[in-house]
Amino acid sequence: MIDEKDQRRYALAISGGVCEVCGAPLRDGQPQGAHRIGNTQANRAKYGDMVIDHPFNIGYTCSLNCNAALDISKNPAACIQLCKRIYTREASKYEGKK
Ligand SMILES: [Zn+2]
């Protein structure tokens, strides 16, 4: 399992140190780890912990406003696309291990 610290480090690294939504530098403010598919009980029941806690589901934003803009919970097509990326990535870890 990935702990929260690793999750933050990873998210910061892939964001290039800027807010994913507005592009503001993150070093000055208080960066917010934002879930694309919201971290709610309902979403955990629907998508599973693997999807909710996956680094692909976490973005980095500069503020609560930008945090909210990253939420795709209400966009079924975007959620399915994200799940597909996550499952493809996770499946690749098992390739060649049979
Ligand atoms: Zn921002």
Centroid of ligand 1 to alpha carbon of 21 (angstroms) = 5
Residue 2 has pLDDT above 60, yes or no: no
Tens-digit pLDDT profile for residues 72-81: 999 999 999 9
Residue 69 Cα to ligand 1 midpoint, Å, equals 9
Q: Is 28 exposed, middle or buried (0-12, 13-18, 19+ CB in 10 A)?
A: exposed
Torsion of CA 77, 45, 51, 23, to 10 degrees: 60
Give the model's pLDDT for residue 10: 63
pLDDT at residue 16, rounded to an integer: 76
Q: Which residues surround ligand 1, an ion (CB under 5 A)?
A: 19, 21-22, 24, 62, 66
Q: Residue 5 pLDDT more than 80?
A: no
Q: Residue 91 C-alpha to ligand 1 middle, in angstroms? A: 32
